[in-house]
Chains A and B, each alone.
Chain A
Amino acid sequence: MPDTKSQTAIKILDYLKRNPSAEDTVEGIFRWWLPSQHIEQNKECVYEALADLVAKNLVVKHKHGDVSTFRLNHDKDPIILALIEWMKE
């Protein structure tokens, strides 16, 4: 069963919690940050999850030329940790 948008968002945040300095594009996040099962079927979900995370200010989007990368918003670390733990319950 493919992950939902919120499940994907939690997996992205979980990766960033373990690797707080990580940064990559949508393609890199899709292929290298997330477990390959389920996500393989729903790359669109990753786009939407990242858009949500950026809108909530949990992830920061940087534009470099024609490429955008995403990294953790370090100002929001405690909130992110609390969110991850809550969603895992």
Chain B
Amino acid sequence: MKPPKKLILLKSNSSGGLCSQLLKTIEDEVKERDVPVSNLIEALSHPFSSQDLARAISEANPRMLLLITPAQAHNHVSSLIHTALEKEPGIQIILVSGDFGDDEISDLARSGITDFIVRSVKSTNSLRRRTEDCSSFDEVEQSARKCKEELILARMIGESPAFVSQISKIPTIAKFDVSVLISGETGTGKELVARAIHYLSPREAKPFIPVNCGAIPLDLVENELFGHKQGAFTNAVSSERGIIQEADGGTIFFDEIDSLPLPAQVKLLRFLQEKEFRPLGSTKTCKSDVRIIAATSSDLRQAIATGKFRHDLYYRLNVVAVDLPPLRERQADIPLLACHFLAKYAAQFNRKVDGIAADALKMLLLYEWPGNVRELEHVMARAVILLEGGTIEQKSISLPGSDGVAQREGLQEAKHKLIAQFEKSYIQALLLNFQGNVTRAAKAACKDRRSFSQLVRKYNIDVKSFRRRERAIT
């Protein structure tokens, strides 16, 4: 069997400089391997057809295809990709182009490219990671990668269509080195999704740094992100690296991105565009290769409309979107999640738990879950701690709704409950005021004595206790 080769396609109108850069980058990456570069690269340097490509793939048995092309050749590129995947389904296809827009890239992503490079080749870009992938790529690796994807996705518990439709995007999103915007209410798992993307991506071995934009004081945000040079301000006794430099090669997760102040948004946008930034107080620009994943629980479009968030930054971040549904829209997942947390905390607190009673489960299903999955987890943890016996009963479930805050119940039921509470309190107040005198209390309530007494019996109010209080005082 021939040794695997990487195939480079050179389009006749591609820049010679870009091709030289590519060759140099590949040579740098393979120089440590004891294989001559010429054994790894097959170059086609004139315009060619899909048949030419098919023949070249048959002869060279490549693992990777580098396709260098301008955006005008979009249709031809699509047919080349189709031919390559038909000939060799496992081949990795890297598209290299300076001028493809997001729409063209999305189209080509759907047609099967593995990754793309849209700026001039830099040593820190995806080509290095793909070259490393390619050198050890084989069927065993592919199976291992698939297994890893499944293990990571298994951490995201849920079967409801609304949830699965979002989670199933993760392996694909992870492969492409683009910004991601995750939206969802608090407690829906935005950080979990961000980490899944990072640990399934080629950046998995590099830093993952989460930043809570809402928790950093406004006057410190730029310093936290971009760092500073010694002497940049009072107390800047030494230079400090910011998060963007710290995360070089890896991923930064900007949680609550809508909280980022406008001046920092401008700088972040510039960094996203140029991959360069300037620490505070420095005249030198620095480079960093970082993937940005942002998250928000607000409506960013609303923030754009009110001028609190830049629309150009929004479009830079929202290359790929993940929209996590709230727990109340994935009711079918509540029993699954509840059982998962039950098992987790039973092991952690060393409690024996046999299951959840039907009425307790009903309570969980009726509740609104404003805090979503995180709130459900805390409720189950409390239930395990307070458990008496082996089964989680309704009394073990402590929800804000059981104190009178909104629950998911019918309007009539809620109204009757509220009326009953009011009636009882009203009658007790009257009896207190009239020292247990039912006749005077009834008159004050504009009711006849008999009806008032019926209400007293209905709510099991001990009238004598109101007379005893009067005696105790006197």
Residue B304 interfacial (CB < 8 Å): no
- Contact A28 B195, beta carbon cutoff 8 Å: yes
Q: Complex Cα distance A40/B341, Å? A: 12
Q: Complex Cα distance A36/B469, Å? A: 62
Interface readout for B165-203 with A: 1 if CB under 8 Å, 0 if not?
000000000000000000000000001000100010000
Residue A82 interfacial (CB < 8 Å): no
Residue B215 interfacial (CB < 8 Å): yes
Residue A4 interfacial (CB < 8 Å): no
- Contact B250 A21, beta carbon cutoff 8 Å: yes
Interface readout for A60-83 with B: 1 if CB under 8 Å, 0 if not?
001011110101000000000000
Q: Complex Cα distance A21/B249, Å? A: 9
User: For B155, B207, B224, which residue has the most chain A Cβ atoms within 10 angstroms?
Assistant: B207
Q: Which residues of A contact B246 (CB under 8 A)?
A: 23, 62, 64, 69
Q: Which residues of A contact B215 (CB under 8 A)?
A: 65-67
Residue A22 interfacial (CB < 8 Å): yes
With A41-B347, A41-B348, A65-B224 as contacts: A24 and B216 at CB distance below 8 Å = no
Residue A57 interfacial (CB < 8 Å): no
When C-beta atoms are compared, the residue in chain A nearest to B196 turns out to be: A32
With A19-B205, A23-B246 as contacts: A67 and B195 at CB distance below 8 Å = no
Q: Complex Cα distance A65/B219, Å? A: 12
What's the dominant secondary structure at chain B's contact region?
mixed
Q: Complex Cα distance A32/B191, Å? A: 12
With A40-B344, A40-B347, A66-B215 as contacts: A22 and B205 at CB distance below 8 Å = yes
Q: Complex Cα distance A43/B138, Å? A: 36
Q: Which residues of A contact B199 (CB under 8 A)?
A: 32
Choose from B191, B224, B347 the contact partner of A64 (Cβ within 8 Å): B224
User: Which residues of A1-53 are within 8 A (CB) of B?
Assistant: 18-19, 21-25, 27-28, 31-32, 40-43
Taking residues whose C-beta sits less than 8 angstroms from the other chain, chain A's interface range is: 20 to 34
- Contact A24 B155, beta carbon cutoff 8 Å: no
Chain B nearest Cβ from A6, distance in angstroms = 20
- Contact B205 A66, beta carbon cutoff 8 Å: no
Q: Which residues of A contact B195 (CB under 8 A)?
A: 24, 28, 31-32
Residue B301 interfacial (CB < 8 Å): no
Q: Complex Cα distance A22/B215, Å? A: 24
Q: Which residues of B contact A19 (CB under 8 A)?
A: 204-205
- Contact A21 B243, beta carbon cutoff 8 Å: no
Q: Which residues of A contact B344 (CB under 8 A)?
A: 40
Q: Which residues of A contact B206 (CB under 8 A)?
A: 21-23
Q: Which residues of B contact A67 (CB under 8 A)?
A: 209-212, 215
- Contact A24 B207, beta carbon cutoff 8 Å: yes
23 interchain pairs (CB within 8 A)?
A19-B204, A19-B205, A21-B205, A21-B206, A22-B206, A23-B250, A24-B207, A24-B208, A27-B191, A28-B210, A31-B155, A32-B199, A40-B348, A41-B347, A41-B348, A42-B348, A62-B246, A65-B215, A66-B215, A67-B210, A69-B207, A69-B209, A71-B207
The chain A residues found within 8 Å of chain B, CB to CB, are 18-19, 21-25, 27-28, 31-32, 40-43, 62, 64-67, 69, 71
For the complex with contacts A19-B205, A28-B210, A65-B216, 10 further pairs of A-B residues with Cβ separation under 8 Å are A18-B205, A21-B249, A22-B205, A22-B207, A41-B347, A42-B348, A64-B243, A66-B216, A67-B212, A71-B207
Closest 10 CB pairs of A and B: A23-B207, A19-B205, A65-B216, A66-B215, A24-B208, A41-B347, A21-B206, A65-B215, A64-B243, A32-B199
